[in-house]
Amino acid sequence: MSNGYPLRPLGSLMRLDIQRTPMVPATTYRLAGVLNAGQGLVAKGELDGGDTEYAAMNVLRVDQVVMRKLTAWEGPITVVPAEFDGFVVSNEFPTFTLGPELVPDWIRHVCRSPRLWAEMKNRVSGTVQRRKRLNPEQLLQIELPIPPREVQTGIVQVLDSVDDQIAALNTESEALERILQSLRSDLPETDHQPIGDVLLGIDSGKSVQAGGEASAEDEFRILKLSAVQHGWFKPSEAKALTETDAFSTSHVVRNGDLLITRANTPERVGFVAVAKDVPDGTFMPDLIWRLRVDESRVSTDYLEHVLSSFELRTRISGVSGGTSKSMVKINKRGFGTVRVPIPSLPEQGEYVRRCEVVVGMITATRTEEARLREVRAGLLSGLLDRTIKIESAELGV
C-alpha cells in the first residue's frame, strides 16, 4: 500500500495466548460461539463440566482476539467484549493477546473487514471446503496496514458513530414492523372463505442443482427460500444458474407474482410476498409456489398483507405437516382450505392503504440503513489507505 500505512504481519503485533480450564463435573461453565463476518460472540448457554467430551476448554479474556479455525473463510473472528470475559470455547477457537501497538476496538472493526476475511480465506487448508481450517500460525502471517494508536482511536470514533446511526435506524425499523403487524392483524369484519375459492391456481417451481450466490453478471438465477420473507421480497436472495433446460416459462418469476414458501421451519412455512424488482432470468424453485389470484374477487396486495397477519399465519401453520420438526410442508389441498376474510374490493383497498403507509416508512428506513452500511463498508479501507482522511469521514457521517 504505497499511500497507506505500512503493512505488518499480525504476528508482530499479537501473540497466541490460550488459557485452558479443566472440565470439572458439577461445575457450570458459560459457553460462547463466534459469529461469521466479524459480527461478535454469541452466548450458547450453560454447560456442566461432566456433560462434555472435552477434558478442558479455552477461556475467553476481555480484549483478546478469538477466531474459529473451522470454516475460517467465513470470517468468524472478533475481539472479546467485557460481558464475555470468562466464557469458555472448545479448542477449535484459539485466542490471541494484543500487543501495546493495537487498540482493541480498532481490531474489533478490522475483524469486520472483508479484506481480513479474504486474507483468512486465502490461507485455509484442507481438501473438503466445509472442513477447511485456518491455523493460528496462518492468521499471524496475515499482513495489514497498521496506523499509529492515535489514528486507530480516531478511526474507531468514526466507525462507532456510523454504527450508532445504523443501530438507531434498525431500532426504528423494528418498531415500525410491530406497527405493521398490528395493522395486518386488524382483519376486516366479514365472512371468511377458503382461499382456494379466490385463486385461479397454484404454480409449482422446479428442483435443480444451483451454483453459488447470484451476481449482477449472471444471466439466469433461481430464488432461494430466503427470498420470500414475512411479507417482504428479497430478489438478491438467489443462486446462479448455468443450465435452464429443465425450466419452462411457467417457472419464470415476474414482478407482481404472489409467492409463498411451501416448506420451511414451522415458524417460516407459508411466508408470502409480492415479487418486486425481479431481475430478468429469475426462476422459481420447488420450495416456493406462485399463487394465481382471481383479481375480480381479491387483490394480490390484500392477500400479501392478510396472509402475513398473526391469525392467518397460525391457520397456515395449522395445515402444515411433516416428520421433521425442523422442516414442515404445506400441500395445495390443505392450503386451499385455509379460510380468509374476503370483504368487498373497496374495503380491501382501504386495508391495503393503511398497511402500505407503514410499509413505505419501513422501506425508507431500510434504504437509509443500507446506504449507511455501504458507507461503512468503504470507510475502513479508505481510512487505512488514506484515500479518506479522518476529518473528512467525521464530516460525512
Q: What is the DSSP string of 238-250?
A: EEEES--TT--GG
Report, at the CATH architecture level, how domain 7-146 is classified.
Answer: Alpha-Beta Complex (3.90)
Let me know the angle formed at the C-alpha of 329 by 324 and 333, rounded to the nearest 5 degrees: 140
Secondary structure element (H or E) that encloses residue 172, with its range: helix 149-185
Burial class of 179 by CB neighbour count within 10 A (0 to 12, 13 to 18, 19+): middle
pLDDT tens-place string over residues 213-270: 888 788 899 999 999 999 999 999 999 887 788 888 889 999 999 999 998 888 889 9
Structural domain boundaries of the chain? 7-146, 193-342
Strand order in the sheet with 238-241: 238-241, 220-223, 282-283
1 falls in which pLDDT band (50, 70, 90)?
Answer: very low
Q: Cα dist. 117→76, 82, 152, 193 in Å?
A: 8, 24, 20, 52
Secondary structure element (H or E) that encloses residue 318, with its range: helix 310-318
pLDDT tens-place string over residues 126-173: 755 556 889 999 999 999 999 999 989 998 998 999 999 999 999 999
Q: Note whether 7-146 and 193-342 share their fold.
A: yes
C-alpha atoms less than 13 angstroms from C-alpha of 55 in its C-beta half-sphere: 0
Predicted pLDDT at 379: 81
Is a pLDDT exceeding 90 seen at residue 212?
no
What is the domain class of 193-342 according to CATH?
A: alpha beta
Mean pLDDT, all residues of the chain: 91
Secondary structure element (H or E) that encloses residue 316, with its range: helix 310-318
Q: Are strands 282-283 and 220-223 parallel, antiparallel or unpaired?
A: parallel
pLDDT tens-place string over residues 284-295: 999 999 999 999
